[in-house]
Amino acid sequence: MSLKLVPPQPKPERTKRQQVLDRVAAHLPPHLVACPRCSSLEFIETILGIEKDKPGTGERTLICLHCYMRGERVVIR
């Protein structure tokens, strides 16, 4: 039995999943924010740190709820 090498194929520029996500993002109104990874519209606001010993005064960020539930932390803004 002989072994034959197959030449490597170039990867496509965008996967089918990425094409679908781009198409969904194109139909959203401009005032809505969507997650760049999963196109979800649900977010959690987190507060990082405390300023001047007052709770809730740190840096506020939005993270995607669906990505967070899968164990990933995707910061939106």
pLDDT tens, residue by residue, 58-76: 788 999 999 999 999 999 8
Q: Residue 34's pLDDT is what?
A: 86
Q: Which whole number is the average pLDDT over 29-37?
A: 86
What average pLDDT does the chain have?
A: 85
User: Cβ of 43: how many Cβ atoms within 10 Å?
Assistant: 20
Terminal C-alpha separation, the chain: 57
Residue 57 has pLDDT above 80, yes or no: no
Query: Residue 25: which of 14, 16, 33 has the closest Cα?
Result: 33
Phi/psi-derived region of residue 48, left when phi > 0, alpha when psi is between -120 and 50, beta in every other case: beta
Per-residue pLDDT at 72: 93
pLDDT of residue 51: 73
Kindly give, in sequence order, each residue whose CB lies less than 8 Å from that of residue 55, ignoring residues fewer than 6 positions away.
none
